[in-house]
């Protein structure tokens, strides 16, 4: 009788563990995909391009780009490039990835990076 | 004894059933996530709205229509726009080969219409067709009443 109870308990424990492992794997998979460099690059390139498009002359805009820098795999390289000559934003965080997105605002755009309280910010100055 | 064997067999069938459910859920979640993240993020609505504001600022000043010559009107130059798409994918290839925009400005002054069109006119018929929920160009229409300064 005792063995039977132990057996039932063991089966339930194993089943619960399998279920927990399954949902943990699903959560990890979704988390991994949503935080992949590909999606971060695309989101940030489009976000910066839209900010530049919407900006008026003589504007200074500060954009939080900490996520890009914290997950950047290209050591020493700047992951965000704003090409004001050719009107596009490039976000490249690893060797095999990179995303360019164009902006249509012809105004001169200069950019610089700053760090405040350990977070990286992009400062856009629209001429 | 017979019922005991049936009970064990039933448990096994139930376990297989549960694992099948896990498998189906896993396939559904993985394929759903892949489909969701494989599509580019759609910012066309925001982009079209900003472009619309830029054009309004280009043609209207303080609620008055600016004076301009329609013949030889260079929209990109006059409105400070660069409408050449330079977006590229992960492999560096160009995302789009064709012009990505179609702009049309209809100005009706005392019954005499001025129309300035720029870009790929083949996108125009898609206006108003967004409800079909297909990957078609996004159309943004804005009508304004302003004073003609001429």
pLDDT at A52 over 70: yes
CB–CB contacts below 8 A, A to B: 79
pLDDT of residue B122: 83
- Residue A92 to residues A68, A89, A100, B19: CA-CA distances in angstroms? 9, 10, 9, 41
- Residue A32 to residues A27, A95, A115, B35, B37: CA-CA distances in angstroms? 8, 18, 27, 15, 11
- Residue B138 to residues A53, A102, B12, B49, B127: CA-CA distances in angstroms? 17, 17, 54, 10, 7
Contacts of B37 in chain A (CB under 8 A): 33-34, 36, 38-39
- Please indicate whether, in this complex, the C-beta atoms of B30 and A101 are within 8 angstroms of each other: no
Name the DSSP letter for residue A55: P
pLDDT of residue B139: 81
pLDDT of residue B8: 60
pLDDT at B121 over 90: no
ipTM of the complex: 0.74
| B92/A57: higher pLDDT | A57
pLDDT of residue B27: 93
Tens-digit pLDDT profile for residues A13-51: 888 898 899 999 999 999 888 888 888 999 999 999 999
| Contact with chain A for residue B83, Cβ under 8 A | yes
Task: Give the pLDDT band (50/70/90) at residue A1.
Answer: low
Tens-digit pLDDT profile for residues A61-104: 999 999 999 988 888 788 999 988 888 899 999 988 888 888 98
Tens-digit pLDDT profile for residues B59-84: 888 888 887 777 777 888 888 888 88
Tens-digit pLDDT profile for residues A100-110: 888 988 888 99
Question: How close does chain A come to B89, measured CA to CA in Å?
Answer: 6
pLDDT of residue A45: 93
User: For a pLDDT cut of 90, what percent of chain A falls above it?
Assistant: 47
Tens-digit pLDDT profile for residues B3-59: 555 656 666 667 788 888 889 999 999 999 988 888 888 888 899 999 999 988 888
- Please indicate whether, in this complex, the C-beta atoms of A105 and B15 are within 8 angstroms of each other: no
Contacts of A91 in chain B (CB under 8 A): none
What is the rounded CA–CA span in Å between residue A38 and residue A113?
A: 22
Q: Which of B49, B92, B86 is nearest to A89 (CA)?
A: B86
pLDDT of residue B144: 76
| Contact with chain A for residue B70, Cβ under 8 A | no
pLDDT of residue B110: 64
């Amino acid at each position: 009788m005792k063995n039977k109870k132990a057996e039932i308990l063991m089966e339930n424990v194993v089943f619960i563990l399998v279920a927990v492992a399954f949902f943990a794997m699903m959560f990890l998979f979704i988390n991994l995909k949503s935080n992949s460099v590909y999606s971060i690059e695309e989101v940030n390139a489009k976000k910066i391009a839209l900010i530049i498009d919407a900006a008026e002359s003589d504007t200074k805009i500060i954009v939080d780009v900490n996520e890009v820098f914290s997950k950047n795999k290209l050591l020493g390289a700047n992951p965000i490039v704003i090409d004001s000559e050719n009107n596009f934003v490039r976000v490249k965080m690893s060797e095999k990835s990179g995303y360019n997105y164009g902006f249509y605002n012809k105004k001169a755009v200069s950019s610089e990076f700053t760090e405040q309280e350990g977070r990286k910010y992009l400062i856009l100055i629209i001429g | 004894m017979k019922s005991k064997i049936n009970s064990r067999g039933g448990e096994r069938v139930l376990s297989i059933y549960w694992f099948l459910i896990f498998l189906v859920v896993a396939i559904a979640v993985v394929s759903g996530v892949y489909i969701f993240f494989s599509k580019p993020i759609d910012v066309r609505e925001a982009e079209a709205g900003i472009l619309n504001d830029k054009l309004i600022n280009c043609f209207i000043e303080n609620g008055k229509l600016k004076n301009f010559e329609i013949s030889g009107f260079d929209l990109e130059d006059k409105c400070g726009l660069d409408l050449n798409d330079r977006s590229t994918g992960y492999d560096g290839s160009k995302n789009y080969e064709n012009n990505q925009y179609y702009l049309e400005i209809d100005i009706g002054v005392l019954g005499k219409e001025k129309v300035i069109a720029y870009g790929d006119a083949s996108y125009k018929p898609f206006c108003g067709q967004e409800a079909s929920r297909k990957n078609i160009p996004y159309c943004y229409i804005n009508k304004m009443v302003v004073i003609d300064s001429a």
